[in-house]
Amino acid sequence: MILSDIICLRGENIKMGKFTNGKFKEIIIGKPFPSSWDLHERLDKVRALAVFASDPISSNAYATEAIMSVLIVLGSAALPITLPLGLAVAGLVFLVVFSYIQTILHYPGGGGAYIVAKDNLGRTASLFAAAALLTDYILTVSVSVSAGVRAVTSAFPEVFPLRIEIALLAIMLITWVNLRGVRESGTVFAIPTYAFVVGVWMVLMLGLARTFGWFGAAPLIVETHKVAPTTSLAGFAYVWLLLRAFSGGCTALTGIEAISDGVQAFKPPEAKNAAKTMLAMGLIAMSLFIGITYLATHLHLVPEEAESILSQLARQITGGNWLYYWVQFFTAAILFLAANTGYQDFPRLSYFLAQDNFLPRWMRNRGDRLVFSGGILVLAAVSSLMVIVFQANEIAMLPLYALGVMLGFTLSQSGMFRLMGRIARLKPGESERTHVTEIHYERSARWKRLLAGIGATITFIVFLILTSTKFLEGAWIVALIIPLLVYMFHSISLHYERVARVLSVDGLTAHDLTPVADVVIVPIGDIHRGTLRALAYARRISRNVRAICIISSPEMKVRVMRRWKRFAPITRRMKLIPIEYDYRDILTPVVEYIEQVNNVEFPDQLTTVVIPAFLPIYKIGEVLHNQDAARLRTLLRPNKDIVIIEVPIHFDSKI
Amino acid sequence: MILSDIICLRGENIKMGKFTNGKFKEIIIGKPFPSSWDLHERLDKVRALAVFASDPISSNAYATEAIMSVLIVLGSAALPITLPLGLAVAGLVFLVVFSYIQTILHYPGGGGAYIVAKDNLGRTASLFAAAALLTDYILTVSVSVSAGVRAVTSAFPEVFPLRIEIALLAIMLITWVNLRGVRESGTVFAIPTYAFVVGVWMVLMLGLARTFGWFGAAPLIVETHKVAPTTSLAGFAYVWLLLRAFSGGCTALTGIEAISDGVQAFKPPEAKNAAKTMLAMGLIAMSLFIGITYLATHLHLVPEEAESILSQLARQITGGNWLYYWVQFFTAAILFLAANTGYQDFPRLSYFLAQDNFLPRWMRNRGDRLVFSGGILVLAAVSSLMVIVFQANEIAMLPLYALGVMLGFTLSQSGMFRLMGRIARLKPGESERTHVTEIHYERSARWKRLLAGIGATITFIVFLILTSTKFLEGAWIVALIIPLLVYMFHSISLHYERVARVLSVDGLTAHDLTPVADVVIVPIGDIHRGTLRALAYARRISRNVRAICIISSPEMKVRVMRRWKRFAPITRRMKLIPIEYDYRDILTPVVEYIEQVNNVEFPDQLTTVVIPAFLPIYKIGEVLHNQDAARLRTLLRPNKDIVIIEVPIHFDSKI
């Protein structure tokens, strides 16, 4: 009542409140947020670190091990090489972090590698970067959830047969929390992330204290059973092995790009906060990685099938007290949570792609809680599919992983290399607009350019090594999928371009409108309240109403004609066209007739069809009716000049 | 062109030919038959026997064994009792066949137990009969296909893991042949049925010849290792065991009712041909059953897990020559084909029920090939489900079976008992109409009544024995399903009654029609060719057009207002109503607004909504659009007085 007063009587410029939403949906997802609440749903730095860093931080749980498991081929005497290789990886982490901080500062709108490549390397490169990263975010979710489930099934082997179900349940849970909002997921996921970092830090501190005898800590007993190299690799083979070990360690880099993609999730000033968080993340990740690598080599740990390096390390240093269990528990937790990084970045990157018409437009839309619900649901679906296909076995998925990350790094740093080149050409005080952003003179542009160039080169080499060593193990799948995705992006973009051309109003005048033919066709099966209502409506809008009725027997014809005459007050001035038809697919002649009228009698005009639609109250009732109305709609749809009018009659309708 | 000349210019009473049908469908199912071909698709007696008798004839492959496997509890010395019990069963077969011949002659429209019960015992009894028989036809299909698959997997044990797939494939094949037409399936399935009968007859002849030394045949060597009864059962326990053995043998009765259901499948004179076929079927079935039972007891055969009685019999008599393999092969074939009897009767019975509004009306409709396609597909789906649930294990399904058959026999014979009572009261020359049929004086009515009464009593006793002995093994499922089906029939019938009331035109005058409000609402998201086309159409049918546009940002408002003004030649005399809305579910305020107009501004009138619908060419294109038009339709559907007009714009439309 009140509403109608506002809307219908004043009739313009009404501000509407929020009336209804599915109660059920509201219980699950929470009350809808208004669009203007955007800022309220932004992340502070503490939450942002937890949300975006769970993936890169969790990768330290296994990066050291990845180096060692390659070196062990040379025998355990070769393991000390882990330390210099680890330092080299840490150096690369530094380079990449630095490069992404530059990216964040220069592209405060977010979008990471995709936007950088788009702005500096062109469309195709940017689409490759996007495809690589989307693939990787999906794998982040399926790999980390599967790894988390492995931690659970190691503890409780009896649930192993249920691992796929557990993994899918975990994905559902993470999806649910993410659908409730960015800030909400940040709050939920902060505790385990920080608990993991603090736990490992304590182990490392204790380890260093016991190594160097600080605070009078009991010295560590170091066992050394050095085994001489089993094969003496020389020359190229040796270098190749070191490169492979180094590439393995580069797993520590995964997830570093996460923040650069989601700058707009931060509270303002977005870029500044994101850059600071990036730095904090880089420092935390490097401290964990170097600490673990140093102590692991110092303690002469050897990678084992049954126990991870981090677990060995924590057990030897703590002697297996509560701290050990703390680290173990939160390692499992953070493995699960690394998935959340995928949930942050996949929908955001999809948003950027959808903005540029490379993905379906609905992926731009925010849901009730201002998150990109479409992207979240697509990610949940595809990563669930991966979990099912790979039977929740993350070992089998790992060769697919990291490839995309490295490709993304390479493209993003190449882009930054170019951008810095442009900036370096600016004179002090000058500024310039690129396609996406504005650049100003910077003193250290040349240096930054050099670092980006080195970073790009190294990550490209790592990319090549990973591709060549893991190609047959499964990396070929990704090598196939990425170009296919790029092709898909192109096709989607082409589609939207064509749609835009069709809907374009350039040079449109009133004369271009298709005229409306003065004819209305009403297909009827009998004369009853429903069809009479439709006929009366048709009569209102045209003086040329034709009721067509498919006649399957002489008795039917007699009955229809008799009833038609009986309702002469309603049916007079309308024409009844009985069509005798000796088959049962009665919609075929109906469609034929309508198309004839549309194409031959009134070509290039809009022909109107009124369909009397009986609508049962319950969905289940639809089974009891033959759905001819719905099927007729579907059959008439391909005709571009046929307007369909559905006149409903319900169970409890008056006529 | 030619068509349009006929239709659009003459404009009435056109006889249309067959124009189009899906090419693919035509290849699979065959060219559609005109409705007038009905007679052409009827069955001659030879085909009809093959179609309807495959189930009752195939049951002779295991009926004797069913008696023996109960008696063996008493030790093999008790097995000779099989013969008198078998003769008793044969006597019951005779009674039931006789009763059904009466049914056919008195109810030439077909419909079997359902129609007989409906006419003589009332609605509830008829629905119980129908539910029992429908359940049984489903089980006929799943049991016989599973039994056929068992014959295949016995021969090729390596395909055992694929048994469910093979069974489903077999169901698909039988479904396919049946969809191609009644006559077609009769032709395909005739050979195996007759080959089985002839094969078993030859074995029986040879067996009798060798037993009685006819034509100088080598006498059979009869081994006798009689084992004394393991337990000496006395009194009631002994009688109970005999009754159970007799009930087991009654499996020979399954399928006998088939012909009575499908009288209308016969060429005219339908009833006479059906009765003759029924008699032939009864004689064939009894000859097989008595022959097998006699020789099996004469040869002192003992039921074994590994080899069926029929196989033992054939092997001993033929010595394992080609005739043995003939019988074995066609036993497997006829087991499969028994399913076809279900395919004949389930759709026909469904048709009768749908005629009386107890099943969805579309089950009345004949498909392209004049068969009841709906019923055939439902049967295929449900019996496939049974095969999956029971893992194609017919042994597990058998306890569910036969129960329904016996209930059907009991009700049908009770009905005939009543009918014959009515006939018996007529005087010579008198005749009378029942609800369904016409009855005349018959001299032997009293005798027929007595036989029907005996038959009903015995089948009811067998029904009780089967229910009590097999209840826990699975018969409870059927005991649960049958009342549920009856409840469903009632609900469906209630639904159609209500629909008929709603659509009824009793006492309807032109004044009862809901008036059409002079208002058209056009929800638009932007001003483009699609929405302009919709607006222009709306303008044609009303002087009160309101374009409503959900405004999500100030920029959007400015842009929409500017474009609205730009197209003033089209949009003038229409009203633009911008609705500011701060949430993303933009359809909510649209629906709110429309419902307000419909309920408050124009109550009890028809409100018209024009939806501009962009239709992509390919189905896949729908993923790329947000389907707001389709969702809006769904949301508006519950409103009984809202008329929805869809103005389409296609990829290649002019405006």
Looking at residue A653, its pLDDT comes to 60
Identify which of B8, B606, B640 has the shortest CB distance to residue A596: B8
**Among candidates A332, A289, A333, which has minimal Cα distance to A313?**
A289
* Per-residue model confidence as pLDDT tens digits over A110-161: 888 999 999 999 999 999 999 999 999 999 999 889 988 887 887 788 888 8
Residues B344, B48: contact at Cβ < 8 Å?
no
Minimal CA separation from B508 to chain A, in Å:
8
B613-633 average pLDDT score: 78
Looking at residue B22, its pLDDT comes to 63
- Chain A residues with beta carbon closer than 8 angstroms to that of B575: 11-12
B58-87 average pLDDT score: 86
Nearest-by-CA chain A residue for B535: A513
Minimal CA separation from B572 to chain A, in Å:
11
What percent of chain B stands above pLDDT 90? 47
Identify which of B528, B569, B646 has the shortest CB distance to residue A503: B528
Nearest-by-CA chain B residue for A589: B16
Residue A576 has φ and ψ, to the nearest 5°, of -100, 125
Helix (H) or strand (E) holding B611: strand B606-615
Tell me whether residues A514 and B11 touch, CB distance under 8 A: no
The encoded tokens of residue A642 equal: 């046929």
Identify which of B20, B502, B592 has the shortest CB distance to residue A653: B502
* Per-residue model confidence as pLDDT tens digits over B12-21: 334 444 444 4
Minimal CA separation from A104 to chain B, in Å:
27
**Among candidates A100, A26, A93, A28, which has minimal Cα distance to A64?**
A93
Tell me whether residues A580 and B15 touch, CB distance under 8 A: yes
Tell me whether residues B585 and A21 touch, CB distance under 8 A: yes
Residue B523 has φ and ψ, to the nearest 5°, of -75, 130
Window from A310-314, A349-353, B58-62, B557-561 with minimum mean pLDDT: B58-62
Tell me whether residues A652 and B645 touch, CB distance under 8 A: no
Looking at residue A16, its pLDDT comes to 44
- Chain B residues with beta carbon closer than 8 angstroms to that of A18: 582-583, 588
Tell me whether residues A655 and B11 touch, CB distance under 8 A: no
B604-615 average pLDDT score: 91
Angstrom CA distances, A346 to A170, A360, A364, A528, stand at 18, 14, 12, 55
Q: Which domains does chain A have, with CATH numbers?
A: 43-75+103-414 (1.20.1740.10), 514-650 (3.40.50.620)
Nearest-by-CA chain A residue for B354: A624
- Chain B residues with beta carbon closer than 8 angstroms to that of A36: 582
Instruction: Determine the residue type at B404.
Output: G
Looking at residue A22, its pLDDT comes to 63
Window from A340-354, B64-78, B547-561 with minimum mean pLDDT: B64-78
Task: List, for chain A, all residue ranges whose pLDDT scores fall below the cut of 70.
Answer: 1-22, 223-234, 617-621, 652-655
Angstrom CA distances, B468 to B236, B244, B253, B455, B471, stand at 16, 10, 19, 20, 5
Residue B1 has pLDDT above 60, yes or no: no
Tell me whether residues B583 and A651 touch, CB distance under 8 A: no
- Chain B residues with beta carbon closer than 8 angstroms to that of A360: 623-625
Instruction: Burial-class residue B630 by CB neighbours within 10 Å (0-12, 13-18, 19+).
Output: middle
Minimal CA separation from B128 to chain A, in Å:
21
- Reported as a pLDDT band with limits 50, 70 and 90, residue B232 is low
Minimal CA separation from B29 to chain A, in Å:
14
**Among candidates A145, A139, A178, which has minimal Cα distance to A164?**
A145
- Chain A residues with beta carbon closer than 8 angstroms to that of B32: 583-585
Tell me whether residues B625 and A530 touch, CB distance under 8 A: no
Looking at residue B508, its pLDDT comes to 80
- Chain B residues with beta carbon closer than 8 angstroms to that of A642: 648
- Chain B residues with beta carbon closer than 8 angstroms to that of A604: 654
Instruction: Burial-class residue A24 by CB neighbours within 10 Å (0-12, 13-18, 19+).
Output: exposed
Tell me whether residues A503 and B570 touch, CB distance under 8 A: no
Residue B655 has pLDDT above 70, yes or no: no
How far apart are alpha carbons A112 and A130 in whole angstroms? Answer: 9
* Per-residue model confidence as pLDDT tens digits over B115-169: 999 999 999 999 999 999 999 999 999 988 998 888 788 778 888 889 899 999 9
How far apart are alpha carbons B257 and B282 in whole angstroms? Answer: 11
